[in-house]
Structure 1
């Protein structure tokens, strides 16, 4: 796709499943809302087992260009606690996640506090969950590099909205309100389309 495509910026949600298939190994679910004007992320994390740790998460992301200018990575750096950055809670979660510039998958190193000490989990795979393909593009970078495609778009979830409210961030609250309103306005059309799909499925199954 070329840089002449319509440009977009704003908010989009991501949900990563981070972990491997080894018995007893921890699984991290990282739900983030990416805010492109500030290159920031906000959301929640959940780690199980051997703990059951849930955190409010916030941080930043940046593009990492390697030898080939057309091949770059994205580094997401975030931390978490109970209540978000405006609370007095201690930090209980830290993560460095490197993904491709399509945001689909990558490798994570993270730490969590189990109540007694910090536990490190290194070099575990991360995979984007429940996505619907999108071809929109992000804003051009200051260095003049080619535009980076936005990730696949999934449904807006409630956690970032509550996080923005708790933080008192007016800009994010306004942006989230606008995005959520647009999705809600689409519900009648979605329901109509689902009814049509259901009728078509029934018709084919009767054959």
Structure 2
């Protein structure tokens, strides 16, 4: 669950404060912020919709790759700063697309890793996600107050990079959980047949 906390905490450390960054650093007007958030949402939807195809190939690399792509997109957003609003919107879109696979990925991993404990594991997963979102937003708020609009972004990039490495290393030890999504080995349990 450490990977869950790192990936969701890293995402939410900055998403909560994307608007202040876009206004203060990238110099977006209100309409531009609204458009960037809409593009993030559409890209996130597309990332979620396309995630099963990636997860069927590798849960581990989909999750680790998503965190790396998110970190790269946020780094580009930081580098673009106020120089290019087009680059900023493109970065936000790529970030949203990559973030879309994270929730689906962890849910798929849980179902494969603990098929006999999916309900209990699902409860723990939801608690870990919600707790990490709260913690990420809280720490991001502290950073925005302490160092400004770029603070949460830099911290999010760092946490996402750590999360990518952690996820790649830890899920590697759970090979049975990395089988393609949708493939069931052995007889189908009676509860599932109905």
Alignment TM-score, normalising by the size of structure 1: 0.26
Alignment TM-score, normalising by the size of structure 2: 0.27
> Which is strand-richer, 1 or 2?
1
Q: Which has the larger radius of gyration?
A: 1
